[in-house]
Amino acid sequence: MTPHLTTPNGSPVSQFAFGTMQFGGRADASESQSMYDACRTAGINHFDTAYLYTDGNSETLLGGMIATEREKLLIATKVGYTGGAGADNMRAQFDLSRQRLNIDMVDVLYLHRFDPDTDLRETMSCFAELREAGQIRYVGLSNAAAWQTMKAQTVAAEFGLGVNLLQPMYNLVKRQAEVEILPMCADRGIAVAAYSPLGGGLLTGKYDQGASGRLSEDDRYAARYSPEWMADTARSLSDLARELGIEPATLAVAWVAAEKTGPMPIISARNARQLEPSLAALQFAMTKDLYDRLSSLGPTPPPATDRIEEQE
């Protein structure tokens, strides 16, 4: 649980979040509703979307699903991936996001990516005005480096704000967040919502079985997970999963959740059946020995100082 984040009715935020990037795209309305229902049955109350996901269909579909229980949920969206982090662009995208979601207030608003060409004071002033207007409760950054996050924290303080959440990529083959991002967030009290815990499906083992997915359909994901050692790590994970009689996806998501700083995995899928192994990770009892064994399947990134003797 992440006790310093709550839903509007004061309930603690769930250990896992659900990402709706597939809603209205690879997942049609019926499949999207089934996944939402499965998440709610499993106790998930944190749902993540973005202005640009599936041309707005993601926000629109999610908005219809949350209408009857809005106060029980933490709803997050993102702006600024396109058009920059200027106030006018952020407001225009956010206003459309609220219309699609059919809500006046969004719990978390993320800046979707760092914008080096916009003064952070303009960005943080916009966040402050949105919070003062009661349109957001928490400030988030996505895809930000540790130094960018701390720079944003410093500027945000001028407006009585702090960065409340950070959304980095984190999984068994993408562990850069361990070097500075996760320790920084733990030290500063910033919640971590970790996306891509399955590595675009690589860590499910499905590509070795000839299945299709993001890595076979999206050049960006294919490049992101192209190093051969990543495929080797995924095969080793599948071998270990078979040995234990469990799905690789369950192990992969549970490993993310078991990291000592307590990141919240953002799980996702194309349909409810595909989602089941990730949801099963909520109930999986990860031991230290198994966590260490999983960690050893791929390389551990060196410390920030690059002094290997300081690794332990």
> Among all residues, which ones are annotated catalytic?
53
Among 80, 1, 26, which Cα is nearest to 200's? 26
Q: What is the dihedral of CA 153, 154, 158, 161, to 10 degrees?
A: 10
The count of other CB atoms within 10 Å of the CB of residue 94 is 21
Q: How far is CA 263 from CA 45, 61, 141, 181, 301, in A?
A: 16, 27, 15, 11, 18
Please name every residue paired with 17 in a beta bridge, in sequence order, or none if there are none. 266
Q: How far is CA 245 from CA 52, 112, 236, 276, in A?
A: 38, 38, 14, 15
The count of other CB atoms within 10 Å of the CB of residue 141 is 25
Q: Is 88 exposed, middle or buried (CB count within 10 Å of its CB: 0-12, 13-18, 19+)?
A: exposed
Among 49, 58, 206, which Cα is nearest to 215's? 206
Dist CA 178 CA 150 (whole Å): 16
